[in-house]
Amino acid sequence: MTGAQGLEVGFFEGKLLLNLDSEDEGVFVVGCAGGQNSLITLPVEWELFDCEKESLFRFFRLSVEGLEGGHSGVEIDKQRANGIQLISLALVGLKQKIGAENIRLVLLNGGSVHNAIPNTGEAFFALQIEKIEKAEEAVAGIRKAFQVEYAKTDPDLVLEFKEVGRKIAFETAGDEITRKEVPCIRVFSSGIEERLIGLLLGLPHGVYRMSDTIPGLVETSNNLATVRTKENEIMIISSQRSSITLKLAEITGTVEAVAKLAGARIEHDSGYPAWEPDLKSGLLLKCRQVYNETFGKEAEIKVVHAGLECGIIGSVYEDMEMISLGPTIKDPHCPAERIFIPSIEKIWIFLENLLKSYRCS
């Protein structure tokens, strides 16, 4: 999409566009959602914490792993667990069981990229020694509750609780988490802990509205995508999508309102436009005909709740006819991503026959 956003008027002379970026062979995509990312910045307030003298505390890592994750557009309706939300809920549950004053948070991280449902979350904190056994019991209860709730969507969910000694993996660089052992000499202030957890639990995630005109299509959604603890601030990325411009503005406004209530700053990128379907397109009619002649069956026509380059290109070249197609890919944007190899050959054969049809016409 970065390349598509850099296109200038006049770069293309052609009026037909085949976008090879869809994930189901036998499906022609003719429309997509628009989207916008928001960067939320919460300033960190630190309190000094001498880990050598505070002998009543030990340090622990609480992490959520093994989640399915997936594409934040195509699979946002699957009700899969969000690692950032789960680690936040786990912290709330733990504090309720052992007392908030017995935990001092050091950092919280989660997610990987803006367009993937976060499949990980982690928190490091100092914990009162006398509360360790009670904390282990609390985590076991929270783990069981999570595993029951997400048994079908995230069967490999793991909530791990382990001691990490008196040094903490803390540093981050850009969007990447850099593992480096550094002494813990500071913790979040109790105020920033409350604001951070409230922000992460208050931000919307998942389906916001289904389409009124296309059965089964997600119209508007939000993905609470990443959170990173840095030197002086905590950075959160929220990714909004909608096929309706006004609804995209509405969900983005909700994200902004929640961020401001938590005392955070928020910036929005320029986003990308939706691609409105044209079911009377000559290119679409030709593709349907060639597919039927090649494979003896009709191709499926779809609009997807994901961002495609076609939306950007179509906003620059308004008379461009476009379809998006591709081989069958499963679980995109997550560790289980894979491609069905025989579908690649079918796409090749179809494209070859499509191009021949234009040469002969």
Whole-number pLDDT of residue 361: 64
Nearest CA to 106 out of 147, 152, 164 is that of 164
Residues 88 and 24 placed together within one structural domain of the fold:
no
CA distance 235 to 250: 22
Number of other CB atoms surrounding residue 80 within 10 Å: 21
Residues 248 and 183 placed together within one structural domain of the fold:
yes
Residues 148 and 211 placed together within one structural domain of the fold:
yes
Domain that holds residue 307: 2-33+274-360
- Encode pLDDT of 265-309 as tens digits: 999 998 899 998 888 999 999 999 999 999 999 999 999 998 889
Please tell me the chain's helix, strand, coil percentages from 3-state DSSP, rounded to the nearest 5. 35, 30, 35
- Asked if residues 248 and 242 have their Cβ atoms less than 8 Å apart, the reply is yes
| pLDDT range class, residue 51, cuts 50, 70, 90 | low
Does residue 54 have a pLDDT over 80? no
Q: Which run of H or E residues covers position 341?
A: helix 341-360
323: which strand partners?
Answer: 18
Does residue 45 have a pLDDT over 70? yes
- Encode pLDDT of 309-357 as tens digits: 999 999 888 889 999 999 999 988 777 889 999 999 999 999 999 999 9
What is the model's pTM?
Answer: 0.85
Average pLDDT, the chain: 91
Does residue 175 have a pLDDT over 70? no
The least confident of 115-124, 156-165, 180-189, 243-252 is 180-189
Q: Token digits for 13? A: 């002379």
End position of a domain, from candidates 268, 300, 335: 268
- Encode pLDDT of 104-129 as tens digits: 998 899 999 999 999 999 999 999 99
| pLDDT range class, residue 186, cuts 50, 70, 90 | confident
Residues 124 and 231 placed together within one structural domain of the fold:
yes
Residues 310 and 335 placed together within one structural domain of the fold:
yes
Whole-number pLDDT of residue 52: 59
Whole-number pLDDT of residue 335: 78
End position of a domain, from candidates 268, 295, 324: 268
- CA-angle at 67, arms to 63 and 73, nearest 5°: 125
Whole-number pLDDT of residue 169: 57
CA distance 216 to 121: 30
The mean pLDDT of 200-216, rounded to a whole number, is: 93
Q: Could you tell me the CATH number of the domain that includes residue 223?
A: 3.30.70.360
| pLDDT range class, residue 183, cuts 50, 70, 90 | low
Residues 173 and 85 placed together within one structural domain of the fold:
yes
End position of a domain, from candidates 216, 249, 268: 268
Amino acid at 251: I
Does residue 164 have a pLDDT over 90? no
Q: How many structural domains are present in the chain?
A: 2
| pLDDT range class, residue 155, cuts 50, 70, 90 | very high
Does residue 162 have a pLDDT over 60? yes
Residues 26 and 166 placed together within one structural domain of the fold:
no
Quote the percentage of the chain above a pLDDT of 70: 93
Q: Which run of H or E residues covers position 74?
A: none
Residues 6+ apart with CB under 8 A from 171: 178, 180, 182
| pLDDT range class, residue 137, cuts 50, 70, 90 | very high
Quick one: three-class SS letters along 150-178? CCCCCCCCEEEEEECCCEEECCEECCEEC
The mean pLDDT of 90-95, rounded to a whole number, is: 97
Q: Could you tell me the CATH number of the domain that includes residue 287?
A: 3.40.630.10
Amino acid at 303: V
Q: Which run of H or E residues covers position 195?
A: helix 190-202
The backbone torsions φ and ψ at residue 58, rounded to the nearest 5 degrees and listed phi first, read -130, 165
Residues 6+ apart with CB under 8 A from 190: 100
**Pick the residue with more confidence: 148 or 54?**
148
Residues 43 and 152 placed together within one structural domain of the fold:
yes
Q: Which run of H or E residues covers position 203?
A: none
